[in-house]
Amino acid sequence: MNNNRVFATVLSLMISASTLAQDKKYLINLPQQYDENKAYPLFLVLHGGNGNMQDISRWWNNRTLKASYVVAYLEASTLDRAPDRWGWRDVFRERRNISNYFEEITSNYNIDTTKVFAGGFSLGAKMSVDLLLADVIPLRGVVSLNHGGRLSTAVTADNIRKARRAHKRIVIMVGSEDHRYRRESRQLRDLLKAEGFVFEYMLNQGVGHERPPGFEQKLDQALRFLRH
């Protein structure tokens, strides 16, 4: 293959990836018997690295979310692996995107903006915590499941104190056998504790970097804590 053909192939792939990244990056699940005259809580779900919104929508759910929440499954903009595996790699870009998605969702659906929550797996957990501590959108609380990708730059003592004063909450779920990433969840726990932040730490025994057994029930427990 000559140099011109190689360049054309690379350019074609770049254009394809760029086009994919510009598509709408969320899926919406409306609650059963959705009533447009009633305001609903909103839950944003963020997939892990090398993931997508379709995959996580298959398992991040339970009866409570299906019955009572508008749920938005968000998708990152950095292509981890073609054609459809994405990661939350550019935090500042994703903050802008998610802020725009939030404005669009709250314009199209009747959302109670005092009851907005988020949750994510691995890199999506990192992004969820970032959104709350950077105050990107009016989140009331987040669920961090097996936090991965190092702590966000938004995880500072000052931001934690601001979030504490705003009565925000975080649920940290981590597998006892998540040897590569569990240290991040412990670091987050210790920083929150040092600033008197209200959080819950759920250690899933015998579980690695994966969805824990009984996740639907654990998610209900987390939601009750976040709603306080």
Which one, of 128, 115, 227, 225, lies nearest residue 171 by Cα?
225
Question: Mean pLDDT across the stretch 206-219?
Answer: 98
pLDDT at 226 over 60: yes
| pLDDT tens per residue across span 114-133 | 999 999 999 999 999 999 99
pLDDT at 14 over 70: no
% of the chain at pLDDT higher than 70: 89
pLDDT at 166 over 70: yes
Q: Is the peptide bond before 83 cis (omega within 30 degrees of 0)?
A: yes
- Please give the residue that has the higher pLDDT: either 16 or 181: 181
Question: Mean pLDDT across the stretch 175-202?
Answer: 98
Contact (CB, 8 A) for 122 and 150: no
Give the chain's mean pLDDT.
Answer: 91
pLDDT score recorded for residue 24: 62
Which one, of 136, 107, 112, 131, lies nearest residue 120 by Cα?
131
pLDDT score recorded for residue 11: 33
pLDDT score recorded for residue 2: 52
Complete domains list, the chain, with CATH: 25-227 (3.40.50.1820)
| pLDDT tens per residue across span 53-108 | 999 999 999 999 999 999 999 999 999 999 999 999 999 999 999 999 999 999 99
pLDDT band per the 50, 70, 90 thresholds, residue 10: very low
Tell me the C-alpha distance between 92 and 43, whole Å.
Answer: 21
pLDDT at 20 over 70: no
pLDDT band per the 50, 70, 90 thresholds, residue 23: low
CB neighbour class for 156 (10 Å; exposed up to 12, middle 13-18, buried from 19): middle
pLDDT score recorded for residue 228: 85
Question: Mean pLDDT across the stretch 180-201?
Answer: 98
Question: Mean pLDDT across the stretch 146-157?
Answer: 98
